[in-house]
Structure 1
């Protein structure tokens, strides 16, 4: 069963083929200012329903690509290394979705793990 998500205006839409079981709140300056709650996406479980060009990427670090809608500004998904992996491997990218962008999904029911991104990286 696919779960759909989108930015506020609907120009950037996606769907996932898994049910998130946890949420992650990162305390780095970007995630704090964005207000996102993240979920890691298993490989192959994220599908963009709109052209990738409709999502603009921002990277405050050359290893991070955070995608958002250029029309309404809402953040939708990201591609980053797994910053918590030991040892750290900058070449192993993971996809994450902003759980707040999901349609009709109760994110308040998920346990939230806090990652101390402000001090870890």
Structure 2
């Protein structure tokens, strides 16, 4: 299925394709403060509809994940990283997708504070 998502003001917009069945709820210092519900997909399944230059990026701790956000509204719709085998991933904040009923998704807890 194809989903559309964006930051709050729409300066960052994207489409992502895949089967959304579960999300990860991480307890690291950033995810817990921002309330992320993350869906991991291969990076090629996420297509930006706005210029990449509109992305602002924050990295912390091991600097492994590029947490993208909008410098205008502050909303953080997705991040990018690679898995242990080097495959590019997108971590989509499901709260930024249009028309996704969150109550029907399985939330898997992740202990990001221990990474």
Q: Same fold (TM over 0.5)?
A: yes
Match of 2:66 in 1: 65
Match of 1:94 in 2: 89
20-29 or 57-66, which deviates more: 57-66
Root-mean-square deviation (CA), in Å?
1.6
SS of the residue 1:75 aligns to: coil
Match of 1:46 in 2: 46
More strand as a share of residues: 2
Superposition TM-score, scaled by structure 2 size: 0.90
Give unpaired runs (5+ residues) of structure 1. Answer: 83-88
CA distance in 2, matches of 1:117, 1:26: 6
Superposition pairs for residues 1-121 of structure 1, below 5 Å? Answer: 1-61=1-61, 62-82=63-83, 89=84, 91-119=86-114, 121=115
Superposition TM-score, scaled by structure 1 size: 0.86
Give unpaired runs (5+ residues) of structure 2. Answer: none
How many correspondences in the alignment? 114
Query: Is the Cα contact below 8 Å between 1:68 and 1:77 reproduced in 2?
Result: yes
